[in-house]
Amino acid sequence: MTANGQIFRSSVVVGIFSFLGSLTGILVEVSIAANLGLSKASDTFYVAFTVPYIITNLISATGQFSLVPFFSSLEAHHPEEEVWRGFSYVSNLVFLGLSALALLGAIASPWLIRGIAPGFTIEQGNLATHLARWLFIIIIPAGVSEIVRSFLFSRHYFAVPSSANFFRNATVVLSVLFGFRRYSYYSIIFGYMAGYLLQFAVLIGQLLISFPVRYSISFRGSGEAFRNLRGAGLAQMATALLWQGVVVVERIIASFLPPGTLTALAYGLKIMSTISELLAGSIGTAALPRLSKAVARKAVAEVRGVLRDTLEISLALVAPFMVFCLMLSHNIIRLFFERGRFTHEAASLMALVFFYYCLGLLPYAAVRLMNFYLFACNEAASFFRLAISQYVLNIGFDLFYVVVLRLGARGIPLGMLTSVVFACGLSWRWDLGKIRDAIDRTLGLFALKVGVGCLLAAVAVWGMRLWMAAPQTGLGNFVYLCVTCGVGSAVYLMLLLVSGILSLSHLRLWDHPAQS
């Protein structure tokens, strides 16, 4: 099987199970929104969850960037005993480090809340502080779970690691559905705690079944793999602090906007990033072990070929999703969120925010893939340089759009859009990881064909919207989305077949081999 075929098939496995995790992740937001709506209550919870969420999100989104290359390098150059020593080393440091961070976060919660939401009342601030202290606990099982997950990915075990989020999210949903009326906010907190513990149990179970685990109490490591890991870890830690600063600034800005705006922005970013993770993230996850091992073997041609294949598959998947989300944003939000205390007016605000976030879906996914690639190449310094540039631009454009142009809730997603577009341009300008070697005329022609397919799909969706009556019920909205997206997808796939991108006989996105 060719490299692109292996990446595609592995990404399908990751994508299917990630879809279950993403779907239940959306259900988590829906279940919380149905009980809290867009109100002071929802703003209070999400401010309390800000820092713990940032930490857990960064762990899940970036942990594998350094850990998969680390484990892959050990596997390529060292005996199995050294691999398990590296696994123990990372597990011990992460457990102790996150335990200390959770304790520090709980102590500093009053100051964190006041800094994130200075516009809160005293009562809101006190409640948010109390909730935040409980929520900091979840970062410990989240961090240890990510180590096990990354190890399994490095050994090409994709199904269980990709489905672990499903078990966590399903636990949260059940806790909220059956416990909110009695326990209010605490049903959400208990759901997250139980969910992360279940996620850890599932991953540990797969590890124990598949490998003869040799855990040891180890806090020392030497060699190139350990040096690269420390460099990547420092880069991620610094980047995490920078990203936390971006989110805090955005929360400060949003706390002065009308009630509910802060929550709408949190929902919008989470949904957009979830779509990106489901599509581009799945491809990157499947490609990362192969990229890391090719880099460890110094197989330059293979690295370029895998990167080009990864970019092609991701573009073919993300581009049509972006079109559908932009054209049907209001229907998508109504279908998932308009129920309970989440009113029609709240859904309209949410749809507006979601639309503007989706404008940045494609460049956001490109930056996400760039992060995978840079860590596979052990270029932590380049990643840090790119991240600093992106985050500084993000804050600057947030302030410009909201404060100077007075665009309100639209300003923050537009700030994100502008910053990721600049980040893509800087990656090309600086030739990070020699990215220009993989972006050639073949990829350009591929992108042109995908663009034409998306344009025709957009015309098809527009035609269906003119032909079909606007839905008035939840079921009608579901049918409406199925028909419009189905017709648009059929037109898009037909163009891919005609242009030669999609090979129906081989069920893959192209039939030309990766070229160096």
Beta bridge partners of 508: 503
Is the pLDDT at 506 greater than 50? The verdict is no
pLDDT in tens, 284-323: 887 888 888 888 788 888 888 888 888 988 999 999 999 9
Average pLDDT over every residue of 116-141: 88
Is the pLDDT at 176 greater than 70? The verdict is yes
Tally Cβ neighbours within 10 Å of residue 111.
Answer: 10
Is the pLDDT at 232 greater than 90? The verdict is no
**Which residue has 């179970």 as its token pair?**
205
- 130-134, 345-349, 479-483 — which is least confidently predicted? 345-349
DSSP alpha helix (H) spans, 277-299: 282-296
pLDDT value for 261: 85
Structure letter (DSSP) for residue 78: S
| Residue 404 CA: distances (Å) to CA of 140, 243, 286 | 41, 23, 43
pLDDT value for 12: 63
Question: DSSP assignment of 153-180, as one string?
Answer: HHTT--HHHHHHHHHHHHHHHHHHHHHH
Within 8 A by CB and 6+ apart from 76, the residues are 293, 296, 297
Helix/strand/coil percent split, the chain, to 5: 85, 0, 15
Phi-psi region at 216: left, alpha or beta (left = phi > 0; alpha = psi -120 to 50): beta
In contact, 506 and 6? CB cutoff 8 Å: no
Is the pLDDT at 244 greater than 60? The verdict is yes
Q: How confident is the model at residue 512 (pLDDT cuts 50, 70, 90)?
A: very low
Is the pLDDT at 461 greater than 90? The verdict is yes
Within 8 A by CB and 6+ apart from 316, the residues are 446, 450, 496, 501, 509
Backbone angles phi, psi at 503, to 5 degrees: -105, 110
Average pLDDT over every residue of 56-70: 77
In contact, 7 and 286? CB cutoff 8 Å: yes
pLDDT value for 17: 72
Q: How confident is the model at residue 381 (pLDDT cuts 50, 70, 90)?
A: confident
Beta bridge partners of 503: 508
Question: DSSP assignment of 216-265, as one string?
Answer: -------SHHHHHHHHHHHHHHHHHHHHHHHHHHHHHHHHTSSTTHHHHH
**Which residue has 């202290």 as its token pair?**
133
For residues 408 and 398, what is the distance between their CA atoms, to the nearest angstrom?
10
Is the pLDDT at 220 greater than 80? The verdict is no
- 105-114, 161-170, 336-345, 416-425 — which is least confidently predicted? 336-345
Is the pLDDT at 385 greater than 70? The verdict is yes
- 21-35, 212-226, 362-376 — which is least confidently predicted? 212-226
Q: How confident is the model at residue 8 (pLDDT cuts 50, 70, 90)?
A: low
Average pLDDT over every residue of 185-203: 92
Average pLDDT over every residue of 243-262: 82
Is the pLDDT at 339 greater than 70? The verdict is no
Backbone angles phi, psi at 328, to 5 degrees: -125, 25
Q: How confident is the model at residue 61 (pLDDT cuts 50, 70, 90)?
A: low
pLDDT value for 6: 59
For residues 166 and 148, what is the distance between their CA atoms, to the nearest angstrom?
16
Average pLDDT over every residue of 242-253: 82
Is the pLDDT at 42 greater than 90? The verdict is no
pLDDT value for 509: 38
pLDDT value for 315: 93
Is the pLDDT at 37 greater than 80? The verdict is no
**What is the average pLDDT score of the chain?**
85
pLDDT value for 411: 93
Cα angle 78, 83, 87 (rounded to 5 degrees) comes to 155
Is the pLDDT at 515 greater than 50? The verdict is no
Is the pLDDT at 5 greater than 60? The verdict is no
